[in-house]
Amino acid sequence: MEQEKKKRILSGIQPTGTFTLGNYIGAVRNWGKLQDDYECLYMVADLHAITVRQNPADLRRQTKEASALLLACGIDPKKSLLFVQSQVPAHTQLSWVLSCCTQFGELSRMTQFKDKSAKHADNVNAGLFTYPVLMAADILIYNADLVPVGADQKQHLELARNVAQRFNSQYSDTFTIPDPYIAKAGAKIMSLAEPEKKMSKSDENANSYILLLDDPETIRRKCRRAVTDSDGIVRFDAENKPGVSNLMTIYSCMTGKEMDEIETEFSGKGYGDFKDAVAESIIAELTPVQQEYQRILNDKEYLEGVLKEGAQHAQYIADRLVQKVYRKTGFYQL
């Protein structure tokens, strides 16, 4: 019997600083777990990063560091493709064609454009407006079946689906229509300082997030300063006890324990004991990741070899699709 072809998953992350614990739990940690069941392509999305002004030297360094960190978090280059987005020029080639299949009104309704325009009012550039088209190209150029998306990216995936359907209708079937991949496990990790909002490394309060490369003492300090309440009881109640519930979610993700187990474990104990336990569970999880990250980062030949091979393979797949799109669009080809 012929073996069933694996579905293809594509995901990416911007190299704009060290990943947070929220990135790790909600996305990156799960990427390694997908490799046996899916054909996985993972990219460091440096083209997307420049919609906001970047220091060139920092962007180069962070791209390398992000790649090393993804490998340290479990991405196996023997099972998955890992590449840097800008090293596959076909993404931008397809993006222009898709821009001409995208309506102005569709882009103007993107909530992230409105949010980022307000946040970066001194640099509301065209790329900030059109980057959802580049995101569509990232997905469609590999005929990805599935795309892991959070709540803030659902609009972008829907746009990619609409553009793909529009092109297919006009020029004949070309693109796979991607579906969202909803992880079975994973959680939305909130700010330690303001548990009503998502954990983000762009938060001005450094105590609101934990970075994957934070040292043990920093992790302990941030956990101890995490907002809880005056109730003094470790109980999961996201609406009325958001801070405690957020810490319980983190502890559950780190240890695999269910919420009722955690409540029993800390029955009669104070928040101090609970916060210390949360911190130690994070340290235990991240220490081997940090050690592997340093090993990979110090092995420049290995890291560059992985990225070069990944880019070459990705370019081969992408070029074939772009040539098909160019032919159907009517571009004269020699």
Contact between 32 and 74 under an 8 Å Cβ cutoff? The reply is: yes
Tell me, yes or no, if 241 is annotated catalytic.
no
Q: Out of 7, 33, 201, 257, which one is annotated catalytic?
A: 201
Whole-number Å distance between alpha carbons of 40 and 143: 12
What per-residue confidence (pLDDT) applies to 76? 96
Q: Out of 198, 222, 241, 275, which one is annotated catalytic?
A: 198
Q: Out of 116, 222, 241, 275, which one is annotated catalytic?
A: 116
Contact between 292 and 260 under an 8 Å Cβ cutoff? The reply is: no
Beta-bridged to residue 303, according to DSSP, are none
pLDDT of 1 higher than 50 = no
What Å distances lie between residue 117 and 53, 57, 104, 113, 121, CA to CA? Answer: 13, 25, 16, 6, 5
Token pair in block for residue 192: 């330690």
Beta-bridged to residue 198, according to DSSP, are 190
- pTM beyond 0.85, yes or no: yes
Tell me, yes or no, if 201 is annotated catalytic.
yes
Phi-psi region of 223 (alpha: psi -120 to 50; beta: other; left: phi over 0): alpha
Whole-number Å distance between alpha carbons of 228 and 240: 11
Contact between 248 and 259 under an 8 Å Cβ cutoff? The reply is: yes
pLDDT of 2 higher than 80 = no
Domains, the chain, in order of start with CATH, read: 8-187+300-329 (3.40.50.620), 206-294 (1.10.240.10)
What per-residue confidence (pLDDT) applies to 119? 74
Residues of the chain with pLDDT > 90, as a percent, come to: 80
pLDDT of 184 higher than 70 = no
Q: Over the stretch 135-182, which tens digit does the pLDDT of each residue have?
A: 999 999 999 999 987 666 788 899 999 999 999 999 999 999 999 987
Q: Over the stretch 8-19, which tens digit does the pLDDT of each residue have?
A: 999 999 998 889
Whole-number Å distance between alpha carbons of 57 and 121: 24
Q: Over the stretch 276-326, which tens digit does the pLDDT of each residue have?
A: 999 999 999 999 999 999 999 999 999 999 999 999 999 999 999 999 999
Which of the four pLDDT bands, split at 50, 70 and 90, describes residue 3?
A: low
What per-residue confidence (pLDDT) applies to 295? 97
Q: Over the stretch 41-55, which tens digit does the pLDDT of each residue have?
A: 999 999 999 988 999
Whole-number Å distance between alpha carbons of 317 and 90: 10
